Amino acid sequence: MPIFEYKCEKCGEEFEKLVYGSQTVKCPKCGSENVVKKFSVFGMSGVEHQTSSGCSSCSKGSCSSCK
């Protein structure tokens, strides 16, 4: 069950919510259902992107095993 970040369009409150399936999300401050899901980069923090250097043994792109 993922936790999403939301912002209330009515009062501006920013909050996190554990969401089950198609559960309706309401602002905890004013009760409005007029909320938008924020873009979160939490899950991508510290992730290395693989390069297409032809090296299949690691993601660094240049190491002794790539030569």
Name the DSSP letter for residue 44.
Answer: G
pLDDT of residue 63: 60
pLDDT of residue 21: 84
User: For residue 7, what pLDDT band results from cuts at 50, 70 and 90?
Assistant: very high
The two structure tokens encoding residue 3? 């936790």
Domains of the chain: 1-40 (2.20.28)
18 alpha-carbon distance from chain centroid = 13
- pLDDT tens readout for residues 26-63: 999 999 999 999 986 655 555 554 444 455 556 555 56
Placement of tokens 């939490």 in the chain: 42
Which H or E element spans position 15? strand 14-18
- What is the pTM (predicted TM-score) of this model? 0.56
pLDDT of residue 22: 86
